[in-house]
Structure 1
Amino acid sequence: MPHDVDPFTANFARSRPLMGVTILLAEDSRFCSEAVRLMALRSGARLRRADCVKSAYSHLKLYKPDLVIVDLGLPDGSGLDLIRDLSAQNRPEQIIIALSGDDSDGIEASVIAAGAQGFLTKPIRSLANFQDRIVAVLAAHRTGQAYPVQPAEGDTDDAVDLDRQALFDDLDRQALFDDLDRIRKILETALPEGDRAQLRYCAQFVDSVGQTARDRELTQQARRFFRRMETGAPGQESGHQMLQLLRRKLSENAPLIQSREHVA
């Protein structure tokens, strides 16, 4: 190694590949946002969060991040429309990456067509996956190369599993309960009214949060609910089943939630 290279600095740079990068995350889930925040922090980046489209625009009036990560399922509008609008502003210094739990065929092509420079699927597999994807998009943007297509996700190895477990252990479980309680309240209004737009939003939200929390029961019920609505059915039965599931999980964790609420 050359004498003018500090080994500590070199190792730090490798472990913090996003040092100095500023990020605005448009994500409505507190729990999913916490996962991205931890990964950004451990990568050396600074992150702000907007929980809806309106909040994202408010942040961008004063804050000029290097990177905007946009979840496609936002409560007050389409993340895809937000990407189109930001792309139309023609700010070449700003990079846009879409974020979604929907990994169906064509979704990645649609976000790139809307103006995003990259795509991340939820749940993000690991810290290494998060870093690799963003570094690849930043490098392609600097050099003017084509967008690097996200590789197919194969089986995770032990290192990735340990990496994911360490991150999961650090997540704020209170944020998860806050997310579930918010959706419970929306469902209690949307189900009697038959508001399909709100019901679809609840289904995709719970699916995304369930994947991040690695809660198979939440994810399976959310997908069952969504499939029923996709067939044209009202989805009332599966919607009420999901509501009961949310109520049960919140009730089971009530002591933890209440103890956290009384911490000074």
Structure 2
Amino acid sequence: MEDLMLRRNPTRDHPLLGLTVLVVEDSRFASDAMRLMCLRSGARIRRADCLCSARKHLKVYRPSIVAIDLGLPDGSGLELIRDLSAARPRVNVLLGMSGDTNLLNNALEAGADGFLNKPLENLGYFQQTVLTHLGVNPQAASLRAIEDRGVEPDLIAYQDDISHAAELLQEQRDESSLAYATQFLRSIAKSAGDTSLEKAAKSLSKATAQGYVPNSIIRDLLSLLKKRMAQKAAF
């Protein structure tokens, strides 16, 4: 297992040098944002796209930091947060992630040290959050002042998410699978700043909450997703 202690000392340019971050995230676009932020911070990154994959990973590796999306295909990220919070030895930093800020308290009550709001697009916000929960003063003399700059994830990753969302909508068989497809759609649209798709996903979410989803909503969403997929060649 990986040593919990830092193997290399952080530098002014790479304040998270020596740390390994496990990102449990189903969106490729959000994962790419995390990859860029970890890369620019000096941290190594590993990714799991569901609870099952994360648990298998944790049997082999011991990351320094675990960041867990709260909406995953095989369950709630809160389950894994509870387990990791109670585990001994405990990971250094345990973070919940979601585009729904109302879930912040849920993550903290489950045992998370902190919370990352989606979209994940600001390097300074990411570094500040991690360093604070590591007990490091981000403005310490040995570290460079936190940079307030953004990252730009690969749009091809967003296309992959769009394709996956279309598959989820076409294959959904029950309320549970439709609820996950709806949540996934809202999450990726918000992360990418795709306001049209986010609005359509909210309409689906509202209909799902009311217990009746007209076929027209699914049909219109699939049409919008197909238009997004047709734009792939432009990237």
Q: Which TM-score band applies after superposition, normalised by the shorter structure?
A: 0.7 to 0.9
Q: Please give the per-residue CA displacement for 1:86-124, whole angstroms capped at 9, x wherever unaligned.
A: 2222323442100111112xx212111111111111012
Q: Please give the per-residue CA displacement for 1:6-25, whole angstroms capped at 9, x wherever unaligned.
A: xxxxxx82332111111100
Answer yes or no: is 1:252 the counterpart of 2:231: yes
Could you say what secondary structure the match of 2:116 adopts? strand
Query: Is residue 23–residue 47 contact of structure 1 (8 Å, CA) maintained in 2?
Result: yes
Query: Is residue 71–residue 100 contact of structure 1 (8 Å, CA) maintained in 2?
Result: yes
Answer yes or no: is 1:96 the counterpart of 2:78: no
Question: Which of 161, 167, 180 pairs up with 1:201?
Answer: 180
Answer yes or no: is 1:173 the counterpart of 2:130: no
Q: Please give the per-residue CA displacement for 1:109-159, whole angstroms capped at 9, x wherever unaligned.
A: 21111111111110124111111111111117xxxxxxxxxxxxxxxxxx9
The Cα RMSD (Å) is: 2.0
Q: Whose Rg is larger?
A: 1
Q: Distance in 1 between matches of 2:18 and 2:215?
A: 48
Answer yes or no: is 1:57 the counterpart of 2:47: no
Residue 247 of structure 1 and its aligned partner are, at CA, apart by 1.1
Question: What's the TM-score, normalizing by structure 2?
Answer: 0.85
Match of 2:122 in 1: 126
- Deviates most, 210-219 or 49-58: 210-219
Match of 1:37 in 2: 35
Give the residue type in structure 1 aligned to 2:206.
R
Match of 2:4 in 1: none
Match of 2:25 in 1: 27
Could you say what secondary structure the match of 1:14 adopts? coil
Determine which structure has the larger helix proportion and give its number. 1
> Which residues in structure 2 correspond to 1:234-249 (within 5 Å)?
234-249=213-228
Please list every run of 5 or more consecutive structure 1 residues that lacks an aligned counterpart in the other structure: 1-11, 141-158, 258-264
Q: Distance in 1 between matches of 2:79 and 2:91?
A: 20
Q: Please give the per-residue CA displacement for 1:39-64, whole angstroms capped at 9, x wherever unaligned.
A: 01101111000011111011111111
Could you say what secondary structure the match of 1:206 adopts? helix
Q: Distance in 2 between matches of 1:251 and 1:189?
A: 20
Q: Which runs of 4+ in 1 moved over 6 A?
A: none
Query: Is residue 225–residue 235 contact of structure 1 (8 Å, CA) maintained in 2?
Result: no
> Which residues in structure 2 correspond to 1:138-177 (within 5 Å)?
138-139=134-135, 160=148, 163-164=149-150, 167-168=151-152, 171-177=153-159
Question: Which of 127, 131, 135 pairs up with 1:135?
Answer: 131
Of the two structures, which has the highest relative contact order with CA contacts closer than 8 Å and spacing of 6 or more? 2
Residues matched between the structures, number: 217
